[in-house]
Chains A and B, each alone.
Chain A
Amino acid sequence: MLILTCPYCGVVCDETELTPGGEAHLTRFGPGSSDEDFEGYLFHRENPKGVHFERWRHAYGCGKWFHAARDTVTLEVFGTYYAQVTEPSQDMKDAITAKHPGWSWRDFS
């Protein structure tokens, strides 16, 4: 059972306090988008062995959605951050690079 720190309220949460929300940093495609873009947005997800960006909600706490950068193999948590961003901060990316040189995920690296 994972431990993640909610970046809003600062609580170190047991996984039972959280609900998972799948992949982070998706771009929404609405009316007018191509079939390919819409399909990718709705259905295509990363399933990496290693660095992953994902959404969690502190559902049984402050109620806020946040993002976590995590290694799906070692379960190391590189950090958690606000959901109101379209990509991880440079600091976050640097922290991951320090542990996982050469990582990449979607368009990030």
Chain B
Amino acid sequence: MSRRLKSGGRLIDRSRPMLFSFNTRSMRGFAGDTVASALLGEGQMLVGRSFKYHRPRGIVTSGPEEPNALLGIGAKGTFEPNARATTTELFDGLEAKSQNHWPSLDFDIGAINSKLWRFFPAGFYYKTFLWPQSFWKHVYEPVIRQSAGLGKPPKARDADHYEHFYAHVDVLVIGGGIAGLTAAKSAGEAGAEVLLVEQTAHWGGRAPVDGAEIDGKPGEAWIDETVAALEAMPNVRLRTRTIGAGVYDHGYTLLDERLTDHAPDPETPRHRLWKVRAAQIITATGAIERPLSFAGNDLPGVMLASAVRDYVVNFGIAPGDRTVIVTNNDDGYRTALVLKEAGLEVPAVLDARAEATGPLAEEVREAGITVQAGRGIAKVTGQGRVQKVWACDQAGSGTNADPIEADGVAMSGGWSPVVHLWSHCGGKLNWVEDQAHFAPDPERAPLCASGKPFVLTAGMASGAMTTADVLADAHRAGQTAAEATGRKGTVKAPEAVAEEVQPMAPVWKMPAQAPYKLKAKSWLDYQNDVKVTDVELAAQEGFESVEHAKRYTTLGMATDQGKLSNINGLAILSGELNSDIPSVGTTTFRPPYTPLVMGAIAGEAKGELFQPIQRTPIHDWHEENGAHWEPVGHWRRPYAFPRNGESVEDAVKREVLAVRNEVGLLDASTLGKIIVKGPDAGRFLDMMYTNMMSTLKPGKCRYGLMCSENGFLSDDGVVARIDDDTWLCHTTTGGADRIHAHMEEWLQTEWWDWKVYVANVSEHYAQFAVAGPKARQVLEALGPDFDVSKDTFPFMAWTEGALGNLPVRVFRISFSGELSYEIAVPASRGRALWDKLLEAGKPHGITPYGTEALHVLRAEKGFIMIGDETDGTVIPQDLGLHWAVSKKKDDFLGKRAQERDHMVGPLRWKLVGLETVDGSVLPDGAYAVGEGTNENGQRSVQGRVTSTYYSPTLDRGIAMGLVQHGPDRMGEVLDFPKVDGEVVQAQIVDPVFYDKDGEKQNV
């Protein structure tokens, strides 16, 4: 069983004990511990249950590649599922919970799956749950969903906050091991602006544990000196606890800095997401040790050899008291020496290579440890943890294995460079035969805008495997990056004594001739429970592409994204396909390198800041007067103003009747207002609108339609001609920015020689509609300095002047069908005018009304609404708007498209009014059904409802819709089935329900 050693642990402070809980059990660790080291220190080797078979699992690694030790950390608002215990720093009061078990970690019902493993092969779900189709929704999916997924999503709102941070640098160095430090120093001394980031809280990476000696000094001393030198350089910034998450096009990089995960503080952002634009990126991301595939390699107590020595050296932990080492390379021997040094037993080193002749092997033998060459592990056995290791000949099939009493296994299958960041943006890899790994190919690097490489690798991330090679490679990377940004490097590379190394030998199955029974217990992907036999089965079933095999078996698809399993799985697949590894290839590496919390991605963009709200100058008044809000584009508009105790529906009804019988007041400030000016402005507007706008007289208004080049209606609004070369175009509320951009696009890219300026002045003005039979009296009460009589200021005219001593522009236009003045005033005077209108209107019963009353009023008049009657497939002719489409003009946007035969053909659905036979309100979007079925066997349809309301004026339901041959079928009754199957009948009528001759707006 694992335990804390009496002394040692370079990263922990034994004078600062810390209390934490694991599944409600109280435990003790030290400052500097990770949750993983603290658990091991308390003898807690079992940390979770596996995904599919619910097998007991323990800690395997000491870094971000950890597949098993995924815990729920925190509670309520700070709860985070799937946190890796190996990268989570311990703090006092931390709460950790294990996942994927029921009812408890030690007794788990799902472990029955482990006994049934023969019935859960690769592709089990695909094969089992195919038929019958009807079972999917109610039987299979709920069951699968219940058992799928690791951890539980948090239910409470995230109590922490997060921030985003932008930075531009010459050289970004990701990874603060000796390679990253060297590269940063070389680039920094050459004068480049450097940002160096390290994912852990400590500089130097593996070097202090692995005993590197640099420039004649012990690794740790060299690291301290180098960090001090970098900190003294004004052009170098350093950040620990910052992980390189993703590298994107042209040097864009995401970094995640964990500010308070190690010391919670609600005042400080928890994470800071860096968005860095770097001219050059150096990935000094090191390498990850590979597991070996032997039976029982998932038992708690089996760990990576490098992790075993990390726990001993960094945290003063004995992962086991008797640890067998199994390796295919020299590096595993370092673990034997570290364990021996700590006074722990190493019963044997099993070296899968035929000979063990390297200097490290000799040193281990001299230390009195048994070295067995040509040997491997047939299986590891034990109840919930390692108890016996069965050593066998690597070349054989695992028969006649010798048992060794042990409580730990340290395995080393060789090292794979961390190529993720290199690959994110398209960097390619080469297979390196003598290390049996993929390494970046510098000839095929990701390219920046200039066509030159922008990602370099340094140290083990390049495939350099000895200290001397790492330093030389990192120095070269630093120099090259600095030179690419126009600096000149001169400093000397740090040096280390060259090591003599015995070549590693790839081992993909242990033993080489392992029978099915052993391979079916040899895990490749711990987190997703994928075994050697699963990949073999996938190959046999024809999943030859690595991407297909991955998805079929789920190899590498867990939260660790195959950091441990990738190469081992590929090797099994290629072996089964009788093909070499490079021709099978790797799966694609995608960002992020490790999971990012959603909060970090969202940053400050939550709550009110998620999407800023546009407010009119009258917003506060609306708020104070009980507006029931409706979002329109980015705006908030009052839907209605319910009074004390009044329902929203009643408010709408009251507001509609007020406009029809007395006078209403609408805040129409959100309407788009675009000035079009210049000698060619008339010609330009003739292209933009289907109508003729160049012939409009100054002082007059005209309703205009805009179409896309594809012929479909895109916007509408009233255009006023201000003077000879100036027009003011009103757009829909949501359309201002879009239509402004649309005009700019055509002016800049097609008719760039036309002399026209456009300006979006939508928010420069507040604009109100005073509508109703008493509208004129309200204006008169404010003492206008212009004549408001019918003859001088008729319908569809506009004028300028003073109203209530405020400068106004008044348009006699109407969207309600009533006598109506739309009054524009500079935005800063908007509230003043609004208040005066309310005051002046009081004797006339002036009633503020909202968007719903506006909609009802326009529907009663048969006025179309962009987005209701149009949906991107409707042309003006469908809506009976032929009168607004000029026949005289040679050209306008959409004209050619509207000439296509399917636009002029007889089958189009056209606008009509619809009146229910029983007076009820038709459901919005309901379809009118026809005879028979279509080619898909669905009921034929012949029309649909586009707008539908209760009309307070007529006291009945009214609707508009598009119906095939509609205008020719007046009086016909159509069937509209509701969602519940009940049919509503409605008669086709004229779409103008009220004041058909338009007399009321023209008084």
Asked if residues A75 and B745 are in contact (CB atoms below 8 Å), the reply is: no
Asked if residues A21 and B745 are in contact (CB atoms below 8 Å), the reply is: yes
Asked if residues A2 and B250 are in contact (CB atoms below 8 Å), the reply is: yes
Q: Which residues of chain A have C-beta atoms less than 8 A from B752's C-beta? A: 83-84
A1 to B275, CA, bound (A): 11
A97 CB to closest chain B CB (Å) equals 14
Q: Does A91 contact B (CB under 8 A)?
A: no
Q: Which residues of chain B have C-beta atoms less than 8 A from A84's C-beta? A: 748-749, 752
A21 to B749, CA, bound (A): 11
Asked if residues B749 and A65 are in contact (CB atoms below 8 Å), the reply is: yes
Q: Does A49 contact B (CB under 8 A)?
A: no
A81 CB to closest chain B CB (Å) equals 13
Q: Which residues of chain B have C-beta atoms less than 8 A from A14's C-beta? A: 252, 277
Q: Does A107 contact B (CB under 8 A)?
A: no
Specify the chain B residue showing the minimal Cβ separation from A67. Answer: B749
Q: Which residues of chain A have C-beta atoms less than 8 A from B448's C-beta? A: 3
Q: Which residues of chain A have C-beta atoms less than 8 A from B234's C-beta? A: none
A57 to B248, CA, bound (A): 21
Q: Does B968 contact A (CB under 8 A)?
A: no
Q: Which residues of chain B have C-beta atoms less than 8 A from A1's C-beta? A: 248-250, 252
A83 to B751, CA, bound (A): 11
Specify the chain B residue showing the minimal Cβ separation from A1. Answer: B252
Assess A83 versus B252: contact at CB under 8 Å? Given A3-B449, A29-B896, A31-B891.
no
The 9 closest A-B pairs by CB, nearest first: A76-B451, A1-B252, A84-B752, A77-B449, A65-B748, A3-B250, A74-B447, A30-B891, A31-B896
**CB within 8 Å of B: which A5-42 residues:** 14-15, 21, 28-33, 35, 38, 42
A28 to B709, CA, bound (A): 10
Specify the chain B residue showing the minimal Cβ separation from A65. Answer: B748
A33 to B897, CA, bound (A): 10
Q: Does B210 contact A (CB under 8 A)?
A: no
Partner of B249 from A21, A59, A63, A75 at Cβ < 8 Å:
A75
Asked if residues B744 and A63 are in contact (CB atoms below 8 Å), the reply is: yes
A75 to B455, CA, bound (A): 14
Q: Does A52 contact B (CB under 8 A)?
A: no
Asked if residues A2 and B249 are in contact (CB atoms below 8 Å), the reply is: yes
Q: Does A64 contact B (CB under 8 A)?
A: yes
Specify the chain A residue showing the minimal Cβ separation from B687. Answer: A30
Partner of B749 from A76, A77, A83 at Cβ < 8 Å:
A83
A1 to B897, CA, bound (A): 36
Give the interface centre of A31, A59, A99 by most chain B CB atoms within 10 Å.
A31
A9 CB to closest chain B CB (Å) equals 14
Asked if residues A31 and B277 are in contact (CB atoms below 8 Å), the reply is: no
Specify the chain A residue showing the minimal Cβ separation from B708. Answer: A42
Interface bracket on B = 20 to 34
A70-104 CB contact bits vs B (8 Å, 1 = yes)?
01001111000001100000000000000100000
Asked if residues B896 and A38 are in contact (CB atoms below 8 Å), the reply is: yes
B695 CB to closest chain A CB (Å) equals 19
Specify the chain A residue showing the minimal Cβ separation from B752. Answer: A84
Q: Which residues of chain B have C-beta atoms less than 8 A from A38's C-beta? A: 896-897, 900
A19 CB to closest chain B CB (Å) equals 8
A77 CB to closest chain B CB (Å) equals 4
Specify the chain A residue showing the minimal Cβ separation from B748. Answer: A65
A92 CB to closest chain B CB (Å) equals 15
B311 CB to closest chain A CB (Å) equals 40
Q: Does B78 contact A (CB under 8 A)?
A: no
Taking Cβ atoms with an 8 Å cutoff, the residues of A that contact B are 1-4, 14-15, 21, 28-33, 35, 38, 42, 55, 57, 59, 63-65, 71, 74-77, 83-84, 99
Q: Which residues of chain B have C-beta atoms less than 8 A from A75's C-beta? A: 249-250, 447, 449
Asked if residues B741 and A59 are in contact (CB atoms below 8 Å), the reply is: yes
A12 to B146, CA, bound (A): 50
Taking Cβ atoms with an 8 Å cutoff, the residues of B that contact A are 248-252, 277, 447-451, 709-710, 741, 744-745, 748-750, 752, 890-891, 895-897, 899-900
B737 CB to closest chain A CB (Å) equals 10
Q: Which residues of chain A have C-beta atoms less than 8 A from B709's C-beta? A: 42
Partner of A31 from B251, B252, B449, B890 at Cβ < 8 Å:
B890
Q: Which residues of chain A have C-beta atoms less than 8 A from B750's C-beta? A: 28
Asked if residues B450 and A76 are in contact (CB atoms below 8 Å), the reply is: yes
Asked if residues A30 and B895 are in contact (CB atoms below 8 Å), the reply is: yes
A sample of 28 cross-chain residue pairs with beta-carbon separation below 8 angstroms, ordered by A number, consists of: A1-B249, A1-B250, A1-B252, A2-B249, A2-B250, A2-B449, A3-B251, A3-B449, A14-B277, A21-B745, A30-B891, A30-B895, A31-B896, A32-B896, A33-B896, A38-B896, A38-B897, A42-B897, A57-B745, A65-B744, A65-B748, A75-B249, A75-B250, A75-B447, A75-B449, A76-B447, A83-B748, A99-B451
Asked if residues A31 and B895 are in contact (CB atoms below 8 Å), the reply is: yes
A14 to B872, CA, bound (A): 31
Specify the chain B residue showing the minimal Cβ separation from A77. Answer: B449
Assess A30 versus B896: contact at CB under 8 Å? Given A75-B250, A83-B748.
yes
A57 CB to closest chain B CB (Å) equals 7
Specify the chain A residue showing the minimal Cβ separation from B898. Answer: A31
Give the interface centre of B744, B749, B890 by most chain A CB atoms within 10 Å.
B749
A64 to B752, CA, bound (A): 12
Q: Which residues of chain B have C-beta atoms less than 8 A from A64's C-beta? A: 748
Q: Which residues of chain A have C-beta atoms less than 8 A from B748's C-beta? A: 64-65, 83-84
A71 to B449, CA, bound (A): 10
Asked if residues B250 and A31 are in contact (CB atoms below 8 Å), the reply is: no
Asked if residues B710 and A55 are in contact (CB atoms below 8 Å), the reply is: no
A14 to B215, CA, bound (A): 42
A64 to B745, CA, bound (A): 9
A21 to B709, CA, bound (A): 15
Partner of A35 from B710, B741, B900 at Cβ < 8 Å:
B900
Known pairs A65-B748, A76-B447. 18 more at Cβ < 8 A? A1-B249, A2-B449, A3-B251, A3-B449, A14-B252, A14-B277, A15-B249, A29-B896, A30-B895, A38-B900, A42-B710, A55-B749, A64-B748, A74-B447, A75-B249, A76-B450, A76-B451, A77-B451
Q: Which residues of chain B have C-beta atoms less than 8 A from A4's C-beta? A: 449
Q: Which residues of chain B have C-beta atoms less than 8 A from A21's C-beta? A: 745, 749
Give the interface centre of A4, A28, A59 by most chain B CB atoms within 10 Å.
A28
Q: Which residues of chain B have C-beta atoms less than 8 A from A3's C-beta? A: 250-251, 277, 448-449
Specify the chain B residue showing the minimal Cβ separation from A33. Answer: B896
Assess A65 versus B895: contact at CB under 8 Å? Given A1-B249, A75-B249, A75-B449.
no
Q: Which residues of chain B have C-beta atoms less than 8 A from A57's C-beta? A: 741, 745
Q: Which residues of chain B have C-beta atoms less than 8 A from A29's C-beta? A: 896
A84 to B745, CA, bound (A): 11
B690 CB to closest chain A CB (Å) equals 13
Q: Which residues of chain A have C-beta atoms less than 8 A from B897's C-beta? A: 38, 42
Q: Which residues of chain B have C-beta atoms less than 8 A from A71's C-beta? A: 451
